[in-house]
């Protein structure tokens, strides 16, 4: 292996010897770099203050980037939870790792980066959200939420044994992680810890101590909140509209005790059940003290039309931001622990989300689409001795696996499709770095009714093909139209760039082993 890579990874340091000395000084052995991979669920890059200061203040998440690198063009391969996690574990696109949508079961027998690290002496653990149906493999310790998990009194499975934990999910997940770091791991081995939070996944239930913390804030309405989807049929046919599809009871907590508020999405019963089945008396009292006046006001005002739509948007944003606050505070707890234990300077720390999320753009919540807010994901990396500042190259979540392997000095298998980020973190700008990204979303028909589609994104352009029960192409110039409102496909003057992008799609299909092309 290249000596530069070994030094960059912290595996060895060569001590210089004097030219007049006849005896070589011994090589100074250094511990392999620890890996802490923190991932939240549905955390939009817009709501991290390192990226965007309009909405939230996230000083602890920001710290990771401020003391390291902020990737400004970080994307996923398939914008939905389970498939995204499978891409991250394997370093391969969905059609290769087999987990194309959330109805699948992850094949735990296949190669993953934790397995490869484990073979090379790393102690591996995953704590928090897993969401891959099968049990984790390749981990010395696993303590995972069941399915999507619950915000209050969550159920965990610890190495095969189901237990219910008291408290709020983000706090509890962090407590388990700190306990593992402090008392369960083997201190003689390097560790790789996957710390994966449920939050801020729907239904954005804040910790009771954080209720109301954003009530004095009026969040700016996105410019395209009232998008009419002209020229974009697939965008018009989704079911993730804040106005039409965000449930008053399930999403916005309007479960009135008089049982007078009813909804038509089929989620009302589940919304009332979250309160009844998971909260203890103290939590219910805090919840009632906060939400009962809001419910009373909602009933009295009888909002309709735009007034109702914008009220729903503000409620959504306030709950979501309060949930983010808890994530940020708990990441602060972890950073403090690492610092106090002397682990901070021998641990690479990564913060990301399993995909992006819509904060009202196009009038939406949720993800799935290849449009920027869903496709793009935050990626902040604190790499001791590495680059500090922005990294603008196109990166994707299939890149995490080879990055961690190269960092540990483990040979990256030839079948991994991602590229190690270590050269970028070392300040290099490789001439051979990718110029385009491949994306594919498979989950239709399913929740939110987003059509199957795939596409390619370059630095400036994006070409998308919606297929299956529809055959629609979309082309965007991200430089002149960053909000992706003007579909240029088929318009005069864009014939050449369309041809170039289709050619690039074909090249990416060949590179990534796509055998059932939908681009032809």
Say if CB 199 and CB 327 are below 8 A apart.
yes
* 473 located within any domain: yes
Distance CA 57, CA 40 (A): 16
Nearby residues of 402 by Cβ (< 8 Å), 6 or more positions away:
91, 113, 412, 416, 418, 419, 420
If asked whether residues 190 and 63 sit together in one domain, one would say yes
**Contacts for 424-427 with beta carbons within 8 Å, 24 or more apart?**
424/69, 424/387, 424/391, 424/393, 424/395, 425/68, 425/69, 425/381, 425/383, 425/386, 425/387, 425/391, 426/8, 426/386, 426/387, 427/386, 427/387
* 219 located within any domain: no
Q: What kind and span of H or E run contains 270?
A: helix 268-278
Supply the DSSP symbol for 429.
-
**pLDDT tens per residue, range 295-320:** 999 999 999 999 999 999 999 999 99
Question: What is the pLDDT at residue 32?
Answer: 87
If asked whether residues 195 and 55 sit together in one domain, one would say yes
If asked whether residues 359 and 502 sit together in one domain, one would say no
Question: What is the pLDDT at residue 162?
Answer: 98
Task: Give the distance between the most distant pair of CA atoms in the chain.
Answer: 90
Question: What is the pLDDT at residue 520?
Answer: 56
| DSSP helix/strand/coil, 127 | strand
If asked whether residues 159 and 187 sit together in one domain, one would say yes
For residue 8, the enclosing domain spans 1-30
Question: What is the pLDDT at residue 30?
Answer: 64
**Domain C-terminal end among 429, 452, 484:** 429
Question: What is the pLDDT at residue 476?
Answer: 99
**pLDDT tens per residue, range 170-209:** 999 999 999 999 999 999 999 999 999 999 999 999 999 9
Distance CA 417, CA 512 (A): 7
If asked whether residues 474 and 453 sit together in one domain, one would say yes
Distance CA 490, CA 484 (A): 16
Q: Report the CATH number at residue 456.
A: 3.30.1120.10
- In order of 11, 31, 393, the CA distances from 4 in angstroms are 10, 16, 22
Distance CA 254, CA 290 (A): 11
**Domain C-terminal end among 314, 341, 360:** 314
* 218 located within any domain: no
Tokens of 134: 């099968």
If asked whether residues 127 and 108 sit together in one domain, one would say yes
* 208 located within any domain: no
If asked whether residues 241 and 136 sit together in one domain, one would say no
Half-sphere exposure of 469 (CA within 13 A, CB side): 9
Distance CA 41, CA 18 (A): 53
Question: What is the pLDDT at residue 23?
Answer: 42
* 210 located within any domain: no
If asked whether residues 480 and 422 sit together in one domain, one would say no
Question: What is the pLDDT at residue 17?
Answer: 30
Token pair 């965000």 is found at: 246
Which residue stretches of the chain have pLDDT < 50? 1-28
Q: What does the buried/exposed string (b/e) look like for 236-245 if buried means 16 or more CB atoms within 10 Å of the residue's CB?
A: eebebbbbeb
Q: Is the dihedral of CA 58, 64, 69, 74 positive or negative?
A: negative
Q: What kind and span of H or E run contains 35?
A: strand 34-40
Question: What is the pLDDT at residue 387?
Answer: 86
* 81 located within any domain: yes
Q: How big is the CA angle at 482 (ends 478 and 486), to the nearest 5 degrees?
A: 80
* 220 located within any domain: no
- In order of 56, 89, 104, 322, 459, the CA distances from 328 in angstroms are 10, 24, 31, 10, 30
Say if CB 139 and CB 116 are below 8 A apart.
no
Say if CB 286 and CB 266 are below 8 A apart.
no
* 342 located within any domain: yes
Phi–psi pair at 454, nearest 5 degrees: -150, 170
Question: What is the pLDDT at residue 16?
Answer: 32
Count of structural domains, the chain = 4
If asked whether residues 406 and 333 sit together in one domain, one would say yes
Phi–psi pair at 318, nearest 5 degrees: -65, -40
Tokens of 188: 């003689």
If asked whether residues 297 and 334 sit together in one domain, one would say no
**Domain C-terminal end among 429, 462, 491:** 429
If asked whether residues 194 and 143 sit together in one domain, one would say yes
If asked whether residues 507 and 468 sit together in one domain, one would say yes
């Amino acid at each position: 292996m290249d000596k530069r890579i070994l030094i960059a990874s912290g595996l060895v340091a060569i001590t210089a010897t004097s030219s007049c000395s006849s005896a070589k000084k011994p090589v100074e052995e250094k511990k392999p770099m620890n890996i802490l991979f923190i991932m939240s669920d549905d955390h939009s890059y817009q709501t991290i203050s390192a990226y965007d200061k309009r909405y939230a203040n996230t000083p602890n998440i920001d710290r990771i980037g401020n003391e390291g690198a902020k990737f400004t063009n970080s994307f996923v391969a398939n914008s939905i939870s389970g498939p995204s996690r499978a891409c991250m574990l394997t370093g391969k696109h969905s059609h290769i790792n087999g987990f194309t949508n959330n109805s699948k079961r992850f094949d735990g027998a296949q190669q993953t980066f934790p397995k490869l690290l484990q073979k090379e002496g790393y102690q591996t653990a995953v704590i928090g959200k897993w969401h891959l149906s099968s049990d984790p493999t390749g981990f010395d310790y696993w303590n995972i939420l069941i399915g999507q998990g619950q915000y209050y009194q969550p159920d965990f499975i610890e190495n095969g044994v189901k237990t219910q934990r008291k408290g709020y999910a983000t706090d509890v997940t962090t407590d388990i992680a700190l306990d593992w770091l402090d008392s369960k791991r083997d201190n003689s081995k390097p560790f790789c810890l996957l710390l994966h939070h449920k939050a801020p996944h729907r239904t954005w239930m804040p910790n009771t101590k954080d209720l109301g913390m954003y009530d004095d804030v009026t969040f700016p309405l996105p410019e395209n909140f009232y998008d009419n989807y002209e020229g974009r049929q697939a965008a018009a046919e989704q079911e993730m509209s804040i106005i039409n599809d965000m449930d008053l009871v399930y999403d916005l907590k309007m479960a009135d005790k008089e049982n007078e508020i009813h909804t038509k999405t089929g989620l009302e019963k589940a919304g009332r059940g979250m309160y009844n089945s998971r909260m203890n008396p103290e939590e219910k009292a805090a919840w009632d003290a906060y939400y009962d006046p809001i419910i009373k006001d909602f009933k009295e005002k009888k909002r309709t039309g735009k007034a109702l739509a914008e009220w729903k948007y503000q409620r959504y944003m306030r709950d979501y931001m309060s949930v983010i606050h808890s994530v940020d505070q708990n990441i602060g707890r972890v950073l403090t622990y690492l610092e106090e234990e002397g682990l901070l300077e021998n641990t690479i720390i990564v913060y990301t989300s399993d995909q992006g999320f819509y904060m009202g753009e196009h009038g939406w919540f949720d993800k799935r689409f290849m449009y920027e807010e869903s496709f793009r994901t935050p990626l902040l990396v604190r790499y001791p001795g590495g680059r500090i500042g922005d990294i603008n190259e196109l990166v994707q979540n299939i890149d995490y696996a080879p990055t961690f392997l190269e960092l540990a000095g483990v040979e990256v298998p030839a079948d991994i499709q991602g590229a190690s980020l270590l050269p970028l973190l070392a300040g290099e700008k490789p001439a051979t770095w990718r110029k385009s990204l491949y994306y594919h979303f498979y989950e239709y028909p399913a929740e939110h009714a987003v059509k199957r589609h795939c596409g390619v994104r370059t630095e400036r352009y994006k070409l998308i093909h919606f297929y299956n029960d529809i055959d629609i192409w979309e082309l965007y110039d991200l430089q002149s139209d960053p909000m992706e409102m003007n579909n240029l496909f088929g318009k005069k003057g864009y014939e050449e760039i369309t041809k170039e992008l289709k050619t690039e799609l074909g090249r990416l299909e060949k590179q990534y082993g796509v055998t059932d092309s939908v681009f032809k």
